[in-house]
Amino acid sequence: MKTATLNRLTPYIFMAPAALIMIIALLYPLGYMIYGSFRAWDPSQTLSETEFVGLKNYISLLNDPNFHESLAVTLKFAFVVVSIEMVLGVGLALLLDRNIRGMSILRTLFILPMMIAPVVVGLMWRYMYHPTVGTFNRFLKSIGLDGVDWLGQHALMSVIIADIWQWTPFIFILSLAALQSLPSSALEASRIDGATGWQQIWHIKLPLMMPVLIVTCLLRLIDAFKVLEVILVMTEGGPGLSTEILALRISRTATEFRELGTAAAMSNYLLILLMLLTASMFAYTKFQEARAARLAAHAKEDD
């Protein structure tokens, strides 16, 4: 084999094992799920034994009020937790991006919740929300107030608080890394021009951090749409369907209702939703990059 040909093939040879693993571990299960979503499938059957029903599973979901309720809960949960986590995470990063004594210890403490297993987080918050012996109600009663039915009347809010506690450190870590990688020349120039701290944040730091923040927000949105363990342990989707997000609905449809074809169709709806979110985020990023390039070009023309 000629050296030039070998040089052209070398990258593909190195990529081949990774591509094979991706086909086996990602594309095959995905194709299996898509194929199963067009079948009347239950756990007692192999996929080859099932009956082809076309789009019946998808159409039935569009007419299913329980699916609509789970989708609404999922959207509400995801956008609320991600919005609050982004504000808190970026705010903490801006606050702690300085050299003060004990800062390394504070940063370590802030990321501890993220290291705890989701099942443990769910159990911990479930006990803290307990109506009689829980930490929150005991505190309320100690100051003369009535206890609150946290996992009953305020179940969704309680789950949101637990998720914010666990995943704000993720936003904090990536935001702090973005802050510490900002070019010092831009910050020095703004100080020389007399910019205040707030002006540096709004006009220098946040715009330069925006590519990282967009990716961070996208990662958290995708994860928030798929959260399962914490809600399953805390509320099991109740009371009613008030905390039953799509991931939990899919799990119950497959295991309790034994409707694997419907669960696969529901998973595909969730996949489509996440793909649309991802595409919109990347489109926004490209728009921002093109806008920045145009502004830079106009600035050069003015010079």
pTM equals 0.86
Domains in the chain: how many in total?
Answer: 1
| pLDDT bucket at 147, cuts 50 / 70 / 90 | confident
Q: Does 130 map to a domain? A: yes
Q: Does 25 map to a domain? A: no
Q: Does 290 map to a domain? A: no
Q: Compute the average pLDDT of residues 162-185.
A: 89
> pLDDT at residue 100 above 80?
no
* Secondary structure (DSSP) of 179-194: HHTS-HHHHHHHHHTT
Phi/psi at 40 (nearest 5 deg)? -85, 95
Torsion over CA: 156, 161, 163, 164 (sign): positive
151: CATH: 1.10.3720.10
Strands 51-52 and 39-40: antiparallel
Q: Does 284 map to a domain? A: no
Q: Does 30 map to a domain? A: no
| pLDDT bucket at 193, cuts 50 / 70 / 90 | confident
**Mean of per-residue pLDDT scores for the chain:** 87
- Do residues 94 and 174 make contact, with C-beta atoms less than 8 angstroms apart? no
Q: Tokens for 34?
A: 């898509």
Task: Encode 220-239: b = buried (16+ Cβ within 10 Å), e = exposed.
Answer: bbbebbebeebbbbbbebee
> pLDDT at residue 268 above 90?
yes
Q: What is the model's pLDDT at position 1?
A: 54
Q: Does 49 map to a domain? A: yes
Lowest mean pLDDT among 13-22, 121-130, 288-297: 288-297
Q: Does 16 map to a domain? A: no
Q: Helix (H, G, I), strand (E, B), or coil: what is residue 4?
A: helix
Q: What is the model's pLDDT at position 298?
A: 66
Q: CA 221, CA 160: separation in Å to the nearest integer?
A: 13
Domain range for 119 is: 39-278
- Tallying the residues shown for the chain, one arrives at 303
Q: CA 169, CA 116: separation in Å to the nearest integer?
A: 12
Q: Does 160 map to a domain? A: yes
pLDDT tens-place string over residues 22-42: 888 888 888 888 999 999 988
Q: Tokens for 46?
A: 């192999």
How much of the chain exceeds pLDDT 90, in percent?
41
Q: What is the model's pLDDT at position 295?
A: 64
The residue ranking higher by pLDDT, 281 or 17, is: 17
Q: CA 87, CA 63: separation in Å to the nearest integer?
A: 37
52 forms beta bridges with 39
| pLDDT bucket at 266, cuts 50 / 70 / 90 | very high
| pLDDT bucket at 164, cuts 50 / 70 / 90 | very high
The residue ranking higher by pLDDT, 5 or 77, is: 77
Lowest mean pLDDT among 36-40, 79-83, 160-164, 199-203: 199-203
Task: Encode 33-56: b = buried (16+ Cβ within 10 Å), e = exposed.
Answer: beebbbbebeeeeeeeebeebeeb
Exposed/middle/buried for residue 187 (C-beta within 10 Å: 0-12, 13-18, 19+):
middle
Q: Compute the average pLDDT of residues 258-279.
A: 91
Q: Compute the average pLDDT of residues 172-183.
A: 87
Amino acid symbol at 166: Q
Q: What is the model's pLDDT at position 272?
A: 92
Phi/psi at 129 (nearest 5 deg)? -85, 0
Q: Compute the average pLDDT of residues 33-52.
A: 87
Phi/psi at 128 (nearest 5 deg)? -70, -30
